[in-house]
Amino acid sequence: MSKPESPYPLAAHSGSLSPDTRHLLWSVAPGVIWIVVFLVLPSLYLIGVAFMTNGPYGQPQMPLTLDAFSQLAGFGFLGWSPGNLYTLLRSLWQTLLATGLVILVAYPLAYRISISREKWRALMLLAVVVPSWTNQVIRAFGWMNLLSPGTPLAELAQFFGLIGPNMGLYPSNFAVTLGLIYNFLPFMVLPLYAAFEKLDYALVEAARDLYASPLRAFWLAVFPQTLPGLLAGTVLVSIPAFGMYVVPELLGGGRAMMLGNLVASQFAGGSNWPLGAAGALIMLLATFGGLFAMRRIGKRLSGGEEVVI
């Protein structure tokens, strides 16, 4: 019995499978095939492109090389230049900075919501989340309006001598950091709030009774209890921040480019697919590496139990 080729290997043998297995395959097959064909295959293709040679018209060609990666490290036709490496490091730095600042803002915010009267909490959480429901292009545009030359914020910065006269606060690295914080704050507040809501205050009071300073009480009694929420929030903020495209493109300009912009420019204007694909591969590795690391830490924290983030 010859069957047409199926992208789903088990389905080819379904004749000999139990009805139960066949039922499973029928119900999940359309979705599995869809995701495999339209996401897994394209990703594998992109990973393949990263190891190919850049053709004369920006098309990937054989033979396989590591050229794209050495270009990413700065080795080009004109010798070594640090541009791409700076972009990589800048992405990393912006991600760390924005995640750190988001944590600093989200902690007091989540705590403030958790001590509010119960009927207000849902409304307060909604108030934090609603701006992130608007399109990210519009959100970045809002900041362009606020930071452009002549606005009160830009004039304030000029008054303090932070920027020159007739300049705006964007495009700049500062604007990118601000945009990242703005985009990802809710993703930190929600899991931290969930942790604060379950917080056992008896521990905090015990620490205070034993004359721990407020800071020490926070560190010993509050912080460990909110750590799972903090970890979940860190994953939800740092991974998409590292791959951010819209914010650095609109608020950053050339000198504040991040990895996402480098990747995109190689597929559009620059037309060096292998270089772009190599950047995308770094992003994928960072994503899965980050998820894996957080899973390991989460497991250790909860004493070996599975933590679903």
For residues 266 and 87, the answer to whether their CB atoms sit within 8 Å is no
174-233 residues in contact with another protein (CB under 8 A) are: 182, 185
Which of 167, 227, 283, 307 forms a contact with another protein (CB under 8 A)?
Answer: 283
Identify the residue among 14, 65, 151, 225 touching another protein (CB under 8 A): 151
Number of residues that bind another protein (CB under 8 A): 74
CA 21 – CA 175 distance, rounded (Å): 54
- x-marked contacts with another protein along 64-103 as a string, rule CB under 8 A: ----------------------------------------
Residues 235-269: b if buried by 16+ CB within 10 A, e if exposed? bbbbbebbbbebbbbbbbbeebbbbbbbbbbbbee
Nearest to another protein of 80, 288 (CB atom): 288
Asked if 20 touches another protein (CB under 8 A), the answer is yes
Least CB distance to another protein at residue 103 (A): 14
User: CA nearest 279: which of 80, 100, 92?
Assistant: 92
Q: Which stretch binds another protein (CB under 8 A): 62-70, 71-79, 108-116, 159-167?
A: 108-116
Closest CB to another protein among 133 and 160? 133
As a whole number of angstroms, the distance between CA 110 and CA 16 comes to: 55
Q: State the minimum distance, in angstroms, from the CB of residue 82 to another protein.
A: 23
Residue in 66, 137, 156, 210 binding another protein, rule: CB under 8 A? 137
Stretch in the footprint of another protein (CB under 8 A) among 169-177, 219-227, 283-291, 295-303: 283-291
Cβ contacts of residue 251 below 8 Å, gap of 6+? 140, 143, 144, 147, 170, 171, 172, 175, 176, 178, 179
* CB half-sphere exposure, 276, CA atoms < 13 A: 21
Q: Does 276 bind another protein (CB under 8 A)?
A: yes
Nearest approach in angstroms of CB 24 to another protein is 5
Site for another protein (CB under 8 A): which residue of 7, 55, 131, 253? 131
Q: Got the DSSP string for 94-124?
A: HHHHHHHHHHHHHHHHHHHHHTS-HHHHHHH
Of 23, 216, 299, 300, the one binding another protein (CB under 8 A) is 23
Least distance (Å) from another protein to the CB of residue 245? 5
Output the six-digit token pair for 78.
């004109």
Taking only Cα atoms into account, the Rg of the chain, rounded to an integer number of angstroms, comes to 25
Residue ranges in 109-128 that form contacts with another protein under rule CB under 8 A: 109, 111-112, 115, 122-124, 126-128
Residues 32-71 that bind another protein (CB under 8 A): 32, 34-36, 38-43, 45-46, 49
CB of residue 61 to another protein, shortest distance in Å: 12
Of 4, 5, 9, nearest to 29 by C-alpha is: 9
Tokens of 84: 């791409």
- Name which of 75 and 270 has its Cβ closer to another protein: 270
Please report how close the Cβ of residue 208 comes to another protein at its closest, in angstroms.
11
| Closest to 182 (Cα-Cα) out of 106, 117, 70 | 106
Q: Which is nearer to another protein, 70 or 151 (CB)?
A: 151
Please check whether residue 58 is in contact with residue 272, taking contact to mean a CB–CB distance below 8 angstroms.
yes
